[in-house]
Amino acid sequence: MVEIWPVTEDFAAEVGDVDLSQPISDEDWQTIEDAYHRYSVLVFPDQHLDHDQHAAIANRFGDIDHSMQKSMSIRDERLPSAIADVSNLGPDGDVLAADDRMMGFQRGNRLWHTDSSFKPTPANASLLAMKSIPPVGGFTEFADMRAAWDALPTDLRHAIEGRIAIHSIATSRARLGFEMTEEENGNYPRVPQAMVRTHRVTGRKSVYIASHAGEIIDMNRDESEELLRRLEDHCTQRQFVYAHRWRVDDLVIWDNRCTMHRGRPFDDLRWRRDAQRATSLDVGPTWQQEGLELPVALA
């Protein structure tokens, strides 16, 4: 029988007595799914999945969200396309050089974000498998965007309800000085996303922002950045955050619809951190799910 050990009453839980590489009974899967909806972040220690098994578990949550790295002018032959390489390693398994383009791209994960919000249909579940860790640093932090919504001051609630922000991978990468090529930007045009979401299963509302978001519709660039900064500051206060200290072979599953996350720094020129992520897509664009209308220019 699957065991659930909550970290807090409704955010983050450890899940024990289950080997995800083995067939899972319907009852056990129901327990895991219920926990996913209640806690949003689930930590499964000691998991040994091959790439196909890893992708198959992701596939239970939705269609596979293929890694964008394949379509970038970045070397990436270490993992199959169903698995995003979130490590600091090259195809040979060695630590990347300081000037490697991939290194600049990966450091973007250190900004608060939710996965694939720069795609028309963003991510539902992310499943991050940790295969080697630095001895110090390299935590991952998760923010509960439902609790953040519940505690959001009224003026901010009014400012974002029914509103749409424009997300783009170029926006988050530019924040750390990483430049996308014209071709890469062509593959990933800017997309609209609702700023407040309602969870399809639990009905709970959450704030939906990310470092990928730069502009808000019907606001100028400065106003947009100011509001986004205020929102991020609010949503990432310590009381909404769970910081995960990795163990080798942890698999952590999170719900991108109602959480943000960021990787914390470590000495990435020295230590190998082998993080591999399988991701599932949500069912459609967030503005559609919220019943919002796009301005003519975006429709």
Q: How many residues bind Mn ion (CB under 5 A)?
A: 1
Cβ closer to Mn ion: 31 or 116?
A: 116
Query: Phi, psi at residue 70, to the nearest 5°?
Result: -65, -30
State yes or no: residue 86 binds ligand OGA (CB under 6 A). yes
Give CA angle at 245 (35, 51), nearest 5°: 65
- What single string gives the DSSP state of each residue in 83-121? EEE-SSB-TTSSBPPTT-HHHHHHGGGGS-B-TTTTSSS
**CA separation for the pair 23, 215 (Å, rounded):** 45
Cβ closer to ligand OGA: 122 or 263?
A: 263
Residue 128 contact, options ligand OGA, Mn ion, none, Cβ 5-8 Å cut-off depending on partner type: ligand OGA
Residue with smallest beta-carbon separation from ligand OGA: 263
Q: Give whole-number Cα distances, 27 to 30, 33, 34, in Å.
A: 5, 10, 11
Which of the ranges 17-25, 50-58, 110-118, 282-290 carries the binding residues for Mn ion, by CB under 5 A?
Answer: 110-118
State yes or no: residue 263 binds ligand OGA (CB under 6 A). yes
Q: Report CA dihedral (54, 59, 63, 65) to the nearest 10 degrees.
A: -20
State yes or no: residue 57 binds ligand OGA (CB under 6 A). no
Q: Which of residues 114-173 bind ligand OGA (CB under 6 A)?
A: 115, 126, 128, 140
State yes or no: residue 109 binds ligand OGA (CB under 6 A). yes
DSSP state letter for 148 = H
Q: Please pick, from the candidates 213, 258, 277, 285, the single residue that binds ligand OGA as defined by CB under 6 A.
A: 277
Q: For the chain, percent helix, then strand, then coil, each to nearest 5?
A: 30, 25, 45
Cβ closer to ligand OGA: 115 or 215?
A: 115
Q: How many CB atoms lie within 10 A of CB 59?
A: 14
Which of the ranges 50-58, 111-119, 190-198, 229-237 carries the binding residues for Mn ion, by CB under 5 A?
Answer: 111-119
State yes or no: residue 115 binds Mn ion (CB under 5 A). yes
Nearest to 208 by CA among 231, 237, 241, 240: 231
Residue 60 tokens, joined: 């239970």
CB of 192 to ligand OGA, least distance (A): 21
Q: Give whole-number Cα distances, 2 to 21, 29, 31, 254, in Å.
A: 14, 9, 7, 18
CB of 117 to ligand OGA, least distance (A): 11
Q: Please pick, from the candidates 54, 119, 212, 261, the single residue that binds ligand OGA as defined by CB under 6 A.
A: 261
Footprint of ligand OGA (CB under 6 A) = 86, 109, 115, 126, 128, 140, 261, 263, 275, 277
Footprint of Mn ion (CB under 5 A) = 115
